Amino acid sequence: MDNHNKERNAALGRAWTDDESWDFLTRLTRIGNRMGGSNGERRAATLVAEAFRDAGVCDVHTDPFEMQAWSRGRSRLSLEADGRAFDTVALPYSPSGDVTGELVYVGHGTPDEVDEHDVAGKIVVASTTTPPGGRFVHRMEKFGYAIDAGAEAFVFVNHVPGQLPPTGALKFGEEAVAPAVGVSKESGAWLKDDAEDGTMARLTVEAETTTGESQNVVGRLGPDTDEEILLLAHYDAHDIAEGALDNGCGIAVVVTAARILAQFDLSVGVRIAGVGCEETGLTGSEHLAEQLAHDRIKAVVNVDGAGRFRDLIAMTHTSEATASVAERVADETRHPIQIETEPHPFSDQWPFARAGVPALQLHSDSGERGRGWGHTHADTRDKVDDRNIREHAMLTALLVAELAGEDEVPRLDTEELAAAFRDAGFETGMRAADLWPDAWE
């Protein structure tokens, strides 16, 4: 075995046996609230920068940017007839509001289901999940379509049991036009029955959106080359939980992968980034995309969802080249990596893929539909198995090294990308959420 392979294997072996990833995750989740623009997010950025430097990342710096900071006040959903009230969690970028209207239950909240009901002037109630066999329809799409159809307010019902109201942003980085809250599956069962009876309800939300500041943490590894691989993950989280799974695991994977890559003989440079404000509109990755020359980025690897569960998923966003690299790493390591080619706009690869940069989003699969504990009070450190973080960090490092070594990674054809979104049924929902790019008209 040559020295190059010996050094690579030694780096992988150290990652498998050390406890750095768990220690990092522990420090991160101990912060608590890491909502975009908060003091907790700033503390997390400092922690990420320290972890990058300790991993061997060079030129680590913090890059601040302006954003719309949302703060949560009280919210309440009650029935007019008997005064029953339900526990609620206001959804980020919900405005303050006081709405009285008839409840209308629209099932999964897909456009077809909304169209089956008269929602004008009413409070729409929709599930967090989508029908089996179809693509996952994001809450922004459901909310946007229901409001465009005339709904006055929106209630998002968790499909996971346990009295867990879900959270999640309504817009990308700006205040929405109607109030919205999350409620538990158990509350949703009552609301479905009440909607069938035409029950009137009152929804009140107190919230505030103000100008704030967030920050990205950026550094580099390897040689200073014209081309570079971009490896990133978001470190922010919703304010109602520790954000261990979403996306504490992901940023821990990137920190650990960076430690491994620092010991590799890389053929091109790798830019490492921890980005803020993903949960409130991909604001950090949009800012990063504005700072970087897209033609220098050979490929972007976004770690959002990796490290949570056993098996890795590589979302390739129509790129045959990144799919081929993922298949090769899976074969060489005899570790399953599920390839999903369908694109989506709801994570930090989007500002780059939209511009034609080949992309991988690294996720993981629990076998269940939807987020599981994510976006609820239950997203806590005890749910994490750090063996998954270490394994996925090793695979991430190998994927980045393989992409770096590729002679050519063809750019995404934006017309073909737009066609793929249309074929997957995204256009209607993305337009409702104001996410359909003007260039695709």
Local structure of residue 370 (DSSP, 8 states): S
51, with CB counted inside 10 A (0-12, 13-18, 19+), is: buried
pLDDT in tens, 125-163: 999 998 888 888 999 999 999 999 999 999 999 999 999
How far is residue 351's CA from residue 290's CA, in Å, rounded to a whole number? 9
**pLDDT-based confidence at 8, cuts 50/70/90?**
confident
SS (H, E, C) 90-119: ECCCCCCEEEEEEEEECCCCCHHHHHCCCC
pLDDT of amino acid 135: 87
How far is residue 361's CA from residue 312's CA, in Å, rounded to a whole number? 10
**pLDDT-based confidence at 246, cuts 50/70/90?**
very high
**pLDDT-based confidence at 1, cuts 50/70/90?**
very low
How far is residue 399's CA from residue 405's CA, in Å, rounded to a whole number? 10
Mean pLDDT over 205-209 rounds to: 97
More confident residue, 366 or 275: 275
Mean pLDDT over 386-412 rounds to: 96
Burial 296-307, CB ≥16 within 10 A → b, else e: ebbbbbbbbbbb
State yes or no: pLDDT of 179 exceeds 50.
yes
How far is residue 180's CA from residue 173's CA, in Å, rounded to a whole number? 16
Sign, Cα dihedral of 79, 83, 86, 89: positive
Pairing of strands 200-221, 269-275: antiparallel
pLDDT in tens, 52-99: 999 999 999 999 999 999 999 999 999 998 999 999 999 999 999 999
How far is residue 180's CA from residue 35's CA, in Å, rounded to a whole number? 18
Mean pLDDT over 344-373 rounds to: 91
Mean pLDDT over 238-266 rounds to: 97
**Total-model pTM:** 0.96
Mean pLDDT over 229-247 rounds to: 97
**What tokens were used for 379?**
């997203």
Q: Where are the beta strands (DSSP E) in 106-179?
A: 123-127, 153-157
Domains in the chain, start-ordered, CATH in brackets?
Answer: 3-68+212-422 (3.40.630.10), 70-210 (3.50.30.30)
Q: State what percent of residues in the chain have pLDDT above 70.
A: 99
pLDDT of amino acid 2: 59
- For residue 168, give the amino acid letter: G
**What tokens were used for 131?**
């029908």
How far is residue 270's CA from residue 58's CA, in Å, rounded to a whole number? 10
State yes or no: pLDDT of 370 exceeds 80.
no
pLDDT of amino acid 12: 85
H or E, element range at 440: none
- Average pLDDT value for the chain: 95
